[in-house]
Every structure is written in structure tokens, then in C-alpha cells.
Amino acid sequence: MRALLNKRKKLLAALLLLITAGGLFAYNESDRYFQIAKNLDIFAAFYRELNTYYVDDLPPEKVMHRGIEAILEETDPFTDFVTEENLDDLKFMATGKYGGVGASINKNGEWTAITDVYEGSPMDKAGVKPGDIIVTMDGKSVKDTPQEEISKLLKGAPGTALDILFRNPVSGKETPKKIIREEINVKPVSYSGLVGKDIAYIRMTQFTENSGAMVRSAFQQLKQANPGLKGVILDLRGNPGGLLDEAVVVANIFVDKSKLIVSTKGKVKNWDRNYETSEVPADVHIPLAVLTNHSSASASEIVAGAVQDLDRGLVVGQRSYGKGLVQTTRQLPYNTKLKVTTAKYYTPSGRCIQAIDYSHRNDDGSVDYVPDSLKKTFRTAGGRTVKDGGGIEPDTVVAPTYISQVSATLLRKQFIFDYATSYYYSHSKVAPAASFSLTDEEFSDFERFLDNKDYSYKTRSEDALENFKNTARKEKYYDAVSKELEQLEQKMKHDKKQDLLKNKTEIKRLLEEEITNRYYAQQGRIARSLAWDKEVNTAAAMLRDPVAYKQLLSTGRQ
């Protein structure tokens, strides 16, 4: 009961903010607006009395923010209140730009190390390398400083300086560097190249300003340099989306002019809109595959949904996230903003792919996925069956790849990262990224590198057995089955060395990706990974087979 009262108090405080922000607004005679005005009056009176007579001081900003958070709990997770200090994050989502040094970091023990350096960034110009350890920033030690705090310190207005003392991870030599922050533009096209000799491949990480033009340029360059292309793969895996307009521009690269790509419908009918292609496409005939996974959302799903509904190409991979909601930003007082869901979007066939129904909540406030029984059937331009209510279902499903627990442990404890650092400083150059390969002797060297290092872990079976033993103890059955459990535990014990050999191929691939990243940056990592990427190779095989490609476009998913 007390929790419910506390929530109501927060809601009262939050709605009061509407009064202080814009005053009491006029309302018509409908019951809805009467109820709003009535409760705003109650909220105002409630907070006035509480603030006047409560025994302790109540910080207004803190109380109001808690109230806003309580109101937002009744909406979807994409509706948010953006404070002045978080406006840069909102800008980055739209533009891909921020003020900073152009590097990624990761904390390992007491210190924070550079993990990636963006090409042409201030860190790159200063000669900073992945693996370099940050010792001090502007003369202050950052030992044991949280990673989030260091990340904030690295960001700042373009043109401002930051003095950093770096330690070489191999020699231990410390070198001071003055880093001048710049406007960093994270490229929405992280890689473009060929799969084999005949399939164009473009990986897109976000839908920010001008991202559509960059995808078009990447495709046209590949097409011009390789006139015998048999197809193109647009990789939207892990792409969280972004600007809706840019999704239309990307679709327009492969879809003819004046075609409906997406429509939006919401409470404010004047804002409902159809988005059609407006430019001459780059190529409407080349076979096309769009890669998706569960992290492909929003604008990514608009592109994938349009390609599928218009039968322009095939979607390959796993079901997408299922975000069919459109957000709009509204200006609030004191340089704050409201990012609010104003509409749902619909693919050309008329389906909304929103997977979670936030408008209907359970008694405990939780929300559910749209059940299969409520999903409706739609038809693509060519008559194929597609459904709403659960993301974009691929035409060709490829099971996701999961790495072994030993590999996950080696990554988490940064032993693969540390070995790549050591390898970089002992090898002046390596083969091109796409063909680089570790020898068996070098893998043995990695095994020796791991000697005396703790990369132990528990398998899922061991965790399950431990839980069973704890339950048996609580229920007084343990003594009766202890011998059997001990025997089972001995049989399940795993040998770390054997685990390395058992997963040698997988671990070698992870090492090769990290090492090529040191010599050829992110593009090197991606180029090396394409050789064993299941989704990419499945899509490439389909694009090279015109009969199978056309059959899927006419008959539906496999």
C-alpha cells in the first residue's frame, strides 16, 4: 500500500511540472479534458501544501524528476525527458557527431586502456594505439576511476585541449600527449567491400544525417569498380535505427521512384504521413539481400520491411527487434526536451511490426509481446504472406552464432585483447586483413601466453548441478544423494587446456579479428570476419544462384 502511495505522490509531483512549465491550459467540455484540468489543480494544491508543511525540505528539482520518471513508467521505453546536460546524446543519435577525441576505452583492473582509435581522429593524429593505458588526465591520476567518468572527461567542446599521460602496455614507457578535441563524426557505413569477387557488401551501423547518401556512394563505387557484380548485401545487423527520413533514402537506392516505403499514423491525424521514394534509384535490378538480427530496430526494420513487402530483395538472418514506434522531440522550458512516441509506422503492405503492446498493461504494470493469435496476415506486392506484430521475419532464417564459454571468458578477461597488443609490438606488419591467418605455432604461443593466467569458468551444467546441490541441502535430501552427486561432479569437470584445443578454430578467429584490428582498424576486423560469417555467406550463396533467389521471392521464406 505504501509503495502505491509513493508512486501516486511521484505522479502528482510530475504532473505539477506541466503546470509550472506551461500554466493551466484551457479545456473543452469533454470529460477527458475536464479530468486533466481537475487533476492538475489537485496536483498544484498537493505540492503547494506538501512543500509548505512537510517537516523537511524537499529539493524541487529532485522531486520533479522523480515524478517525471514515474509518469514515464506508464509509457513505452522510447519516450523520455531529456535534460540540458543530456542534449548532446540526443544530438549524437540524430547526427552521429559529438565533441571528443575519437577513441573507445575499456577498464581492466585498476587502469583504463584504449581499445579502438578512429581513423583520422585526434587520438589517431597523436599516435595513440589500442592497448595504451591512460595514467593521468590534466595532471590527475585516473587509477581506479570508473570508466564512465573517464569517458565523460574525454568528451568536450571541439578545440579544447586535454593533456593525457599514456603508458605503453609492453615497454611500460610513459609519454605525455596533448589531445585537441574535435567534432567526431561516427561513420554510418562502417565497411564496404566485396564478398568473394562478385558480391558487394555494405555494413551500416546507424541512420543519421546523410547516411543514405553515404550508402548510395559506397554502392556506386563498388558497382563502378566491379561491373560484374551478381548481388549486394546490406548488413543492418545490430543497427538500432535513427532517422526515419534516412531509412526512406536508403530504400530508394534499390527501389524505384514514387514507391511507398512507410506510413505513420498516430493520435494527431494532421501528422499522419506517407513516405515515398523521391529520387532516381541507383539500381532496381541487382539481386539484394538485407541482413537483420534481433538488434536491428526502427529505421533498420523500415528498410527491411519495405524491401520484403515490395519483393525487391530477400531478408536473411534472424527476426528483427520489433520497434514500430515513431518518436518526435518537443521543446520544453529551460533547454530541456521531451522525446515522445507520436505514431506507429506501417510497412508498404500495411503491417505494423511493433512486437510489444505498451497500451495494454498487466495488473503488475508489465507488458507482453503481441501473441501469435492476434497477429494479422498481409501480402507483399507479389502475393507472399507476411505478418505484423513481431518484427521482420527473415525470408531465409540463419541461426545465430554463439561462442563457447571459454572464448567468452577469454574476451571478458581481455586475454585475447592483451595478446593482440603483444603481437602488434612484436610484428611490424602482417598480411592483408582478409587473408591474415595465425599459424599453429602462433596459437601455441597464445597457449603459453595464458600459462599462469586465470581463465577458469563454470559451465552451465556445473551451475545447474550447484543449484541442485543447494536445493537438496535445503530440502534435506543431500546426504542421501551426496555420493552420486560427487561422482557426477567429477565427470563434469573440464580441463582448460582441452577446452582451448576443442575450441581452437573459434579462438583463432577471435584472435585474428583482434590482431587485424590493430593494423587495419575496424575495417580490418570486419574484412577478416567475413570469411566465417554464416549470414553473409548464406546471403552471398543465394545471390549467386538466380534460380533459388527468384524462387524465394515468389514462394516465400525457407
Report yes or no: 350 and 281 within 8 Å, Cβ to Cβ.
Answer: no
Q: How far apart are the first and last CA of the chain?
A: 52
- Spatial neighbors of 86 by CB under 8 A, at least 6 apart, are none
Distance CA 43, CA 357 (A): 29
Which DSSP helix (H) or strand (E) runs through 336? strand 336-346
Could you tell me the three cell numbers for 302? 523500415
Distance CA 10, CA 369 (A): 28
Conformational region of residue 452, where left means phi above 0, alpha means psi within -120 to 50, and beta covers everything else? left
Active-site residue flag, 493 = no
- Spatial neighbors of 491 by CB under 8 A, at least 6 apart, are none
Q: Which of 192, 211, 298, 349 is catalytic?
A: 298
Which DSSP helix (H) or strand (E) runs through 217? helix 211-225
How far, in Å, are 141, 181, 506 from residue 109 at the CA level?
15, 27, 26
Distance CA 129, CA 132 (A): 6
Q: Which of 192, 323, 395, 529 is catalytic?
A: 323
Phi, psi at 246, each rounded to 5°: -70, -30
Instruction: Return the exposure string of 314-337: e unless at least 16 CB atoms fall within 10 Å of the residue's CB, then b.
Output: bbbbbbbbbbbbbbeeeebeeebb
Beta strands in 186-335 (DSSP E): 189-195, 199-204, 231-235, 260-266, 273-276, 288-292, 314-317, 325-332
Phi, psi at 287, each rounded to 5°: -55, 135
For residue 99, the Cα-to-chain-centroid distance in whole angstroms is 21
Active-site residue flag, 132 = no
Active-site residue flag, 504 = no
How far, in Å, are 264, 319, 372, 396 from residue 387 at the CA level?
18, 12, 10, 15
Give catalytic residues, as residue numbers.
298, 309, 323
